[in-house]
Amino acid sequence: MNKTIAVIRGDGIGPEIVGEALGVLDAVAARFHHSFIYREAPMGGCAIDEFGVPLPDSSLETCLHADSVLLGAVGGPKWDSQPSANRPERGLLKLREAMGLYTNVRPARMFADLASSCPLRADIAARGIDFVVVRELIGGVYFGSHSTAEENGEQKAVDIMSYTEHEIRRVAHVAFQMARKRRGRVTSVDKANVLDTSRLWRKTVEEVAKEYPDVELLHMYVDNAAMQIVRDPSQFDVLVTENLFGDILSDEASQITGSIGMIPSSSMGEGTRGMYEPIHGSAPDIAGQDKANPIGTILAAAMMLRYSFDMAQEADTVENAVDAVLKAGYRCGDIMGEGCRLVGCREMGRLIREQI
In the complex, the residues that contact ligand IPM under the rule CB under 6 A are: 75, 89, 92-93, 247
- Out of ligand IPM, Mg ion, none, which partner does residue 92 contact, by CB within 5 to 8 A per kind? ligand IPM
Which of 247, 290 has the CB closer to Mg ion?
A: 247
Catalytic residue among 3, 11, 67, 142: 142
Contact status: 89 vs Mg ion (CB under 5 A): no
- Comparing every residue's Cβ against ligand IPM, the nearest one is 89
Active site residue 251: yes
Active site residue 11: no
Residue whose C-alpha is closest to residue 30's, from 347, 325, 324, 317: 317
Q: How far apart, in whole angstroms, are the C-alpha atoms of residue 329 and residue 337?
A: 9
DSSP annotation of 338 reads: T
- Out of ligand IPM, Mg ion, none, which partner does residue 89 contact, by CB within 5 to 8 A per kind? ligand IPM
Grouping H, G, I as helix, E, B as strand and the rest as coil, residue 283 is coil
Active site residue 191: yes
Which of 23, 246 has the CB closer to ligand IPM?
A: 246
Catalytic residue among 26, 130, 247, 323: 247
Active site residue 223: yes
Active site residue 247: yes
Which of 56, 76 has the CB closer to Mg ion?
A: 76
Which of 26, 252 has the CB closer to Mg ion?
A: 252
Choose, by CB under 5 A, the member of 130, 247, 252, 347 that binds Mg ion: 247
Catalytic residue among 11, 67, 102, 191: 191
What are the backbone dihedrals phi and psi of residue 254, each rounded to the nearest 5 degrees, phi first?
A: -75, -35
CB 99 within 8 A of CB 276: no
Q: How far apart, in whole angstroms, are the C-alpha atoms of residue 243 and residue 106?
A: 13
Cβ 210 to ligand IPM shortest distance, Å: 30
The separation between CA 346 and the C-alpha centre of its own chain, rounded to angstroms, equals 22
DSSP string, 100-122: T--EEEEEEE--GGGGGG--S-H
CB 87 within 8 A of CB 79: yes
Q: How far apart, in whole angstroms, are the C-alpha atoms of residue 288 and residue 253?
A: 28
Which residue stretch of 50-58, 77-85, 247-255, 296-304 sits at the interface with Mg ion (rule: CB under 5 A)? 247-255
To the nearest 5 percent, what fractions of the chain are helix, strand and coil?
Answer: 50, 20, 30
Q: State the catalytic residues.
A: 142, 191, 223, 247, 251
Interface residue list for Mg ion (CB under 5 A):
247
